[in-house]
Amino acid sequence: MPESERDLDDRAEGNDVESLIALRIKGLSDRRVKPHMPKIDLKAIEPKRGSDYPAPYHLPLAGREARSVSRAAGLEDFNANHVILPPGCWSSQRHWHDGEDEIVVVLSGEAVLVDEQGRHLLRAGDVAAFPKRDGNGHKLVNESDAPAVLLAVSLPEASKVHYSDIDLVWTPEGGEQHRDGTPYPSPATIDPRR
């Protein structure tokens, strides 16, 4: 049983702040809270390159690099991905979710948001949000000559994903399927050296 805050206060040597903080952190460790450095070293996170979309839908994403900063930090309630789109690369196929909101922040560079309303240039500092169930299929395309760097945040995928322009849906039960429910063969393999 964790000690009470009063017990921790009484044990602090001379009640100096450092001793008090150390004892309180020790008391919190009983709740599986571990002190850690909150800054995440992006270089230490192995990027996922390309996409696991079935062929040929994976091709426009071949150069994309995505690093799961939420997983690296031990977060479980949402996904946060640091994404680099080299020139000519897409963030995804145009899609929307039944059960997950999404938000994308452009950190550097620029990308064109392509959605049901057309094309919208996003620059560093711009934010785009996509409510679940809105039917607004979206993707970002880097049409510039420099990398676009994004932060994409959503809940973990747990509902159907609709793809607006291609014969593809994703479900948690069946993975990637044709719209008629026929499954695709195993995911496309992307050569990580590309």
Three-class SS of 111-129: EEEEECCEEEEEECCCEEE
Residue 38 pLDDT grade (very low, low, confident, very high; cuts 50, 70, 90): confident
Q: What's residue 185's pLDDT?
A: 82
- Which of 25-39, 54-68, 128-142, 155-169 has the lowest average pLDDT? 25-39
Domain spans in the chain, listed from the N-terminal domain onward: 1-35, 42-177
Q: Which residues fall within 8 angstroms of residue 11, CB to CB, at 6 or more apart?
A: 3, 23
Contact present, 90 and 166 (Cβ < 8 Å) = no
Is residue 22's pLDDT more than 90? no
Given the DSSP bridges, would you call strands 127-130 and 102-108 parallel, antiparallel or unpaired?
antiparallel
What 8-state DSSP symbol labels residue 145?
S
Residue 4 pLDDT grade (very low, low, confident, very high; cuts 50, 70, 90): very low
Is residue 131's pLDDT more than 70? yes
Is residue 149's pLDDT more than 80? yes
Compute the distance between CA of residue 40 and CA of residue 74 in angstroms, rounded to an integer.
11
Contact present, 169 and 132 (Cβ < 8 Å) = no
CATH classification code of 42-177:
2.60.120.10
Is residue 89's pLDDT more than 60? yes
Task: Identify the H or E element spanning 103.
Answer: strand 102-108
